[in-house]
Amino acid sequence: MMSQMPQPTALSRCPSCEEPLETGDRFCGACGYDLSAVPTPPQDEPTITMNGTSPHPPSAVPSVDWPIAPEVDSSNTPAPVHRAADIQGTDSGGSELPHPTGESAGVRFDRPREPDEYPLAPPAESPSVPLADPRTADLATPPAGGTRLCVACRSGSVDSDGYCENCGHAQPRERDHMEQELSAVSAVSDRGLRHHRNEDAFAISSTALPDGSPAVVAIVCDGVSSATRPDEASLAASRAANEALLAALPLGTHPQQAMHEAIIAASEAVNSLADTPASHDEHAPHVNAPACTLVGAIVTPTLLIIGWVGDSRAYWVPVDRASPPARLTEDDSWAAQMVAAGLMNEAEAYADERAHAITGWLGADAYELEPHTASFKPDRPGVVVVCTDGLWNYAEAAEHLSEVVPLDAAERPLHSAQVLVGHALDGGGHDNVTVAVLPFPAPAQGAGSA
């Protein structure tokens, strides 16, 4: 993948030693600092508040005085600041989405309307051994020696293949249900009620910006089910993006630029999974490249950054429910393109069986990588909900999702993520479901890597 190109500079002083500079200098005459590495600030395109008014700092915690995210050449542009009013029907640069041209090579029809081809396949239930739901069953204390007890019969031991030696019930795998809680962000992921495995993945963390203020990160990825090893793709992408952000943010990289580069790092991580020996393809001619979608959020005391590729989403839900919620992402999908082109309204488009055909994803067979990034300055506290379509299929509109998010979500993000996952499971759980909840502004205790 291409990286950011150096830009010419027009600085009056060296950013390293403050030595005065002359026009045309490429290096500082005092310390030798490479001035070509300093991007020229683009024309001012400030972020705006969620309600379109001038921002009021929601917290007394000082934050970095970020410049506008630097622009690069047109072949690798990390989208400029995305205005809230431009979200619906546009990409991150504010331009219209490309008009659909039929089932082209740039569309991936990976999302069946009813994914019943992924049924759970437990052993036949015995009247004497009722089967428990492995997502909700309390795990019994293992006997001496560390052998796992069956979650169904609660008495049999689990063998090395993951089956109960007493009732034969398959045990839940580690990724079937995952939860993680940090002081400023929490996430929950569940296999759902129809799929045979969880192909979603997430990574949450927090770090400190150069001025000591916190930056909280959540990355959520959804494996493309029609691709090979989608669970590996989502895990690799979430880890790579998270690691890239934790490396870049403490160095003072603009969060929007850091998010753009993190998505590129995630793409490269997924691409590397396709590097298999030629003999592998000979024995498995139908194997294709691993692929996934990605959505991520960075929350600081004053700034909210969103980045995405695909149809996983981010929503804004204010603490004061009298203020309107908002969807912060625009899907890379067939349905979104139809709406943007004016060929269907949203209800018609998402009712179509082709609605979830994605037009953007991470993977070696992706038509073109176009990371979207958006920058916001909310003027009031709230929470950011980052999720896969396993949730928003059951709460598509921002207003609907806002009704499901608990009123105390900012104080109890883990509980809120659990409630949202439960909402999807109660609705049918046809897909894997993953949700991360980040309170805004980032609380001071969120600083420190995790």
User: 261 is written with which tokens?
Assistant: 């580069």
What local confidence, expressed as pLDDT, does residue 163 receive?
80
Averaged pLDDT score across all residues of the chain: 75
Asked whether the predicted pLDDT for residue 229 surpasses 90, the reply is yes
Q: Output the CA–CA distances (angstroms, integers) from residue 311 to 140, 183, 361, 446, in the order listed.
A: 38, 28, 9, 28
Render pLDDT for 281-299 as a digit per residue (tens, 0 to 9): 444 545 689 999 999 999 9
User: 359 is written with which tokens?
Assistant: 């037009």
Higher pLDDT: 304 or 353? It is 304
Asked whether the predicted pLDDT for residue 13 surpasses 70, the reply is no
Residues 115, 225, 3, 303: what is their CA dihedral angle, to the nearest 10 degrees? 40
Least confident of 202-216, 217-231, 297-311, 355-369: 355-369
Render pLDDT for 160-183 as a digit per residue (tens, 0 to 9): 777 888 888 777 778 899 999 998
250: preceding bond cis by omega (within 30 degrees): no
| Mean pLDDT, residues 268-280 | 75
| Mean pLDDT, residues 251-262 | 96
Of 51-60, 148-157, 267-276, highest mean pLDDT:
267-276
CA distance 314 to 307: 9
- Collect all residues with Cβ–Cβ distance below 8 Å to 52 and sequence separation of at least 6: 84, 85
What local confidence, expressed as pLDDT, does residue 68 receive?
54
Q: Is 425 helix (H, G, I), strand (E, B) or coil?
A: helix
Q: What size, in residues, is the chain?
A: 450
Give the model's confidence band at 111: pLDDT under 50 very low, under 70 low, under 90 confident, else very high: very low
pTM of the full structure: 0.68
What local confidence, expressed as pLDDT, does residue 336 receive?
83
Give the model's confidence band at 137: pLDDT under 50 very low, under 70 low, under 90 confident, else very high: very low
